[in-house]
Amino acid sequence: MGQMESQGPEQVEQEQEDWIDEIGSEDDAEVAFGNLDPHHAEESHLPFPSSMGRKTCKDLGLDWLAEEELELKKGQANDCLHHLRMALAEKSILFWTELRHASSQTHTTRAWGKINAIELMVKKHVAVYRACQRAMISLRADEDTL
């Protein structure tokens, strides 16, 4: 397969049809990969090993790729845990230094604004961590890792 910039529309359509033939039907392709139209790339899903499952990867000879993704997910999960610790520490410090000593409604409102901004970061890191955890479960990570 060449790069899409150098291909004409007919070649792209042929590649899509080849993928659909390999998968089974256009509906199955839509479910597995999202919209396959190259003009709607934001709607397509990359077929990562975690989305296919460990058994499917092994059957396709992609066990090595599943191991690589597992290592990447471990690192990403550790990064999320680090960022969570830092954000929660910062939130705690804000409670003690700014909110607790706020002398006016203006200072209290500003402090709560900062705390709420940190809470949004916490929620983002939690969501990424949970996605990593689901991927690691799909890749059959051992209990010590989870």
pLDDT in tens, 9-21: 566 566 556 545 5
- Whole-prediction pTM value? 0.69
Q: How far is CA 107 from the centre of its chain?
A: 37
Select the more confidently predicted residue: 2 or 28.
28
Where are the chain's structural domains? 4-45, 56-138
| Mean pLDDT estimate for the chain | 82
Of 142, 127, 8, the C-alpha closest to 67 is 142
Alpha helices in 34-104 (DSSP H): 49-52, 54-59, 63-94
Helices 26-33 and 9-23 sit at what angle, rounded to 10 degrees?
A: 100
Q: At 45, which amino acid appears? A: H
Give the separation between CA 76 and CA 78, rounded to whole angstroms.
5
- How does pLDDT run across 109-124, given as a tens digit for each residue? 999 999 999 999 999 9
Q: Dump pLDDT digits (tens) for 51-79.
A: 888 888 888 888 999 999 999 999 999 99
